Amino acid sequence: MELAINVLHFSSAFQLFLKTLALTHLPGHYSVCVVRGMQDDIRLEFPGPTVTIALEKSLNTPETIGDILVHSINAGCEGFLVMEDALFPFLDNYRAAHEAAFFRAPNKRIIAVSRLGATERKRLLEHDTMEVTPNILLVKGNETAGTIDLYTTKLSPLEPRGIVADLQWLERISVEDELVELPDTLRKFPDKLSNMEGRRVRLSTLPYPPCSVANEVPLGQGNARSTVPVNYSLQADGTEILMVLELCRRHNCTLEIELVANSEWGQVYPNGSSDGLIGSLIDRRSDVAVAAIYRWYNWYKYVTMSAYTGRSGVSCLVPRPRLLPYWQTPFLSFPPSLWLMVSVSFCVGTVAVFFTERARQRVHPPAGATEKHKLVDSIFFMVSLYVEQSVPLRHDLMAGSMLLSFLLFGGFMIGNSYAGALACVMTIPRYEKSIDTRADFAASGMKWSGPTVAWMNSLLMAEQPELVTIRNRYEVHDGGTLAGFSHTRRDMGYVHERLQYGSYALESFIDINATRLLQPLKEDVFWEQIITACSKTWPLMGFYDDLILRVQQNGILRYWELGSVIRNMGLEIQRNLANARVHDQDHEPVKLLIAHFLGVFFILFVGLTLATVIFAIEHVVYRANSDLPA
């Protein structure tokens, strides 16, 4: 009888202690999830929202338990109070449930009840969720002694890679008194993130300066290491990796880097497989991924997106306009539309002169003249007016005089306009039409390209006609092919982005010689926010977001961006693109050279050639008609 009374007394005190513990350490969470087994007895009341999960033995399957946990997490559960029978089913499904849920909480805490026998201890410490659940407090009750022991996990780095977990005893509390209070040592939740004691943070990235760079250096040097044991270290750089390095400096952790195969952002395929950076996160090979990743909606299902680390304007590099060849000089004085109007007016004037002259010959036949006015005479008459040469002036017919007056005025205007425009064309160099805006690029019919389709993730749901046209013209080629295209093809553009403080982030196929042949558009095709893609169970997520906001508000990112550009890209490439639309001093008005008259010589050459050919044909025809020997 006395034993039963003691058990009831301990059970009541234990329930009260659990409530005190939960109210102390889980009050700031949106809701608390109480996870119990069928045999667990728990009678707790919380002032905030609470979700209670009963894991029945008949439902003790990973799929069913996982679905139940997903629903509870989506209900806002950030803190978990896990009873003894539900501990290991909960841990077995912890990662999968959080990865499937859409609710994301940066500060997850777990208070778990366990007997911590030899078997339970071994299974717990070897569980693969220990690395992602550092905020765990273990409660072990001893009914016989009337005490409660509190433990937490102690995580230490394991060589060559990984972590090793052990139990750390915190405090022993007696429940002899009805009122159970927490000692001062338990007023704060056990903190294993402020000082991680060299534990790892796994990062996946690809070479993409100035955002992310990782170069091999001799073993023992550098500021990071590979995720797999190798005989070299890594020197990490770039605006986004510097952010993670600063996080590791503050929290005393070691950065491990995985350079993804094929240097691609990757995608998730319909069959569930994935590759690239997102594949590294889904396969749990890394905790974070950086390389100018945007807020792509098709990634959101699988990752947690950090606060934005910068703004990126995605645009296109197009061929620079070239100097027009000098043989085109005579034809550049007027635009095509004006040339069309001049041609129409020339033809109309020629026909009018022809009929007027024919009529004049009928009304006033010339004495001793038998040859009629021909069409070729009218053509040369109009040519003489347009080139401001003298023409015969006949005033014996009023209609002819009026026509001649207006034709003289028109020829005078056209001739002088052409001369003035020609003087401008010959002294100020003319270029091909420049593609300046997004609308110009869409209207040009030009395609654009990059090494991965990930660039188009932001335009998948675009509805604007210009963006739809540009998206449909995007092509994917490998880096070697694009490197050749950038030097040889003038009918293709190349994707690039301009970062928050004006630096250009380029794919590896754009080298310094290519930047001398290309120029960026004056405006962005579209813009995005750069984020860090993180695992949904990464425990440092809240600290990382806080660091990003501090770096942004203090302007440190501007210093990091400029320094990374200087160290990893050089300023010449940046200057080439920044000044691509600034004409050189040699393109100011110049003195006339012999090259400026190539167009005149071209017309003269064509005329002489045609005249010679026609003369030869006429000579042959004349000989044939006259029956003379050739």
Supply the DSSP string of 190-230, one letter for each residue.
---SS--TT-EEEEEE--BTTTBEEEEEETT-SSBEESS--
**Token digits of residue 365:** 């036949």
Give the pLDDT score at 59.
47
Give the pLDDT score at 323.
77
Nearest to 560 by CA among 312, 313, 240, 251: 240
Give the CB-side neighbour count of residue 536, counting CA atoms within 13 A: 22
Structural domain contains residue 450 = yes
CATH code (residue 23)? 3.40.50
Among 383, 407, 427, the domain boundary falls at: 427
User: Which of the pair, 333 or 433, is modelled with greater confidence?
Assistant: 433
Structural domain contains residue 297 = yes
pLDDT tens for each residue of 278-318? 999 999 999 999 999 999 988 999 999 999 999 999 999 99
User: Is 238 in the same domain as 131?
Assistant: no
User: Which of the pair, 591 or 165, is modelled with greater confidence?
Assistant: 165
User: Is 223 in the same domain as 202?
Assistant: yes
Residue 595 has pLDDT above 70, yes or no: no
- Confidence band of 344 (pLDDT split at 50, 70, 90): confident
User: Is 399 in the same domain as 513?
Assistant: no
Nearest to 14 by CA among 153, 171, 178, 190: 178
**φ/ψ of residue 393, rounded to 5:** -110, 110
**φ/ψ of residue 77, rounded to 5:** -70, 120
Structural domain contains residue 20 = yes
Angle between helices 556-568 and 541-553 (to 10 degrees): 90
Residue 346 has pLDDT above 90, yes or no: no
Show the DSSP H helices in 239-366 as ranges.
239-251, 276-282, 297-300, 336-363
Q: How far apart are CA 260 and CA 279, in angstroms?
A: 9
Count Cβ neighbours within 10 Å for each residue of 76-85 and write b for 16 or more, e otherwise.
ebbbbbbbbb
User: Is 33 in the same domain as 164?
Assistant: yes
Give the pLDDT score at 4.
63
Q: How far apart are CA 101 and CA 484, in angstroms?
A: 45
Q: How far apart are CA 19 and CA 31, in angstroms?
A: 15
Among 427, 444, 468, the domain boundary falls at: 427
Counting the structural domains of the chain, the total is: 4
Q: Yes or no: say if 134 and 166 are a contact pair by the CB < 8 Å rule.
A: no
Range(s) of the domain holding residue 457: 193-322+431-587
Give the pLDDT score at 1.
57
Give the pLDDT score at 419.
74
Nearest to 386 by CA among 396, 378, 394: 378
Nearest to 437 by CA among 503, 519, 530, 511: 519
Q: How far apart are CA 412 and CA 417, in angstroms?
A: 8
Give the pLDDT score at 137.
92
Helices (H) and strands (E) in the chain, counts: 19, 21
Structural domain contains residue 594 = no
Query: Looking at residue 52, what DSSP letter applies?
Result: E
Give the pLDDT score at 58.
45
**φ/ψ of residue 433, rounded to 5:** -65, 130
Give the pLDDT score at 627.
63
User: Is 498 in the same domain as 466?
Assistant: yes
Q: Of 2-6, 96-100, 131-135, 508-512, give the lowest mean pLDDT range.
A: 2-6
User: Is 307 in the same domain as 398?
Assistant: no
Give the pLDDT score at 84.
87
User: Is 525 in the same domain as 408?
Assistant: no
Considering all CA atoms of the chain, what is the largest pairwise distance in Å, rounded to the nearest integer? Answer: 155
What amino acid occupies position 568?
N
Average pLDDT for 595-606: 73
Look-up: residue for tokens 């007394």?
A: 9
Among 427, 447, 464, the domain boundary falls at: 427
Angle, alpha carbons 329-334-337 (nearest 5°): 135
Structural domain contains residue 409 = yes
> Reduced to 3 states, what is the DSSP secondary structure of residue 79?
strand
- Confidence band of 148 (pLDDT split at 50, 70, 90): confident
pLDDT tens for each residue of 43-56? 777 777 888 887 76
Angle between helices 239-251 and 556-568 (to 10 degrees): 120
Give the pLDDT score at 402.
74
Residue 22 has pLDDT above 90, yes or no: no
Q: How far apart are the first and last CA of the chain?
A: 145
pLDDT tens for each residue of 211-265? 999 999 998 889 999 988 888 999 999 999 999 999 999 999 999 999 987 768 9
CATH code (residue 377)? 1.10.287
Give the pLDDT score at 2.
60
User: Is 232 in the same domain as 181?
Assistant: no
- Confidence band of 343 (pLDDT split at 50, 70, 90): confident
Give the CB-side neighbour count of residue 6, counting CA atoms within 13 A: 10
User: Is 534 in the same domain as 552?
Assistant: yes
User: Using H for helix, E for strand and C for coil, what is the string for 406-420?
Assistant: HHHHHHHHHHHHHHH
Region of 512 please: left (phi>0), alpha (psi -120 to 50) or beta: alpha
Q: How far apart are CA 495 and CA 501, in angstroms?
A: 18
Structural domain contains residue 596 = no
User: Is 443 in the same domain as 583?
Assistant: yes
Q: Of 227-231, 326-330, 346-350, 528-532, give the lowest mean pLDDT range.
A: 326-330
User: Which of the pair, 410 or 258, is modelled with greater confidence?
Assistant: 258
User: Which of the pair, 365 or 382, is modelled with greater confidence?
Assistant: 382
Give the pLDDT score at 403.
73
- Confidence band of 337 (pLDDT split at 50, 70, 90): confident
Q: Are strands 492-498 and 310-319 parallel, antiparallel or unpaired?
A: antiparallel
Give the pLDDT score at 164.
92
Count of CB atoms situated within 10 Å of the CB of 222 = 18
Look-up: residue for tokens 């030097």?
A: 487
Residue 437 has pLDDT above 90, yes or no: yes
Look-up: residue for tokens 């003269």?
A: 604
User: Which of the pair, 333 or 108, is modelled with greater confidence?
Assistant: 108
Which range among 146-150, 222-226, 327-331, 390-394 has the greatest average pLDDT?
222-226
Give the pLDDT score at 187.
75
User: Is 182 in the same domain as 197?
Assistant: no
Give the pLDDT score at 151.
92
User: Is 211 in the same domain as 168?
Assistant: no
Angle between helices 398-427 and 336-363 (to 10 degrees): 160
> How does DSSP assign 109-143, residue by residue?
EEEEE----HHHHHHHHT-TTGGG--SEEEEEEET
Give the pLDDT score at 215.
92
Residue 514 has pLDDT above 60, yes or no: yes
**φ/ψ of residue 407, rounded to 5:** -70, -35
Count of CB atoms situated within 10 Å of the CB of 44 = 16
Structural domain contains residue 40 = yes
Give the pLDDT score at 189.
84
CATH code (residue 274)? 3.40.190.10
User: If you average pLDDT over every residue of the chain, what do you get?
Assistant: 85
Average pLDDT for 457-477: 92
Q: How far apart are CA 428 and CA 607, in angstroms?
A: 27
Structural domain contains residue 593 = no
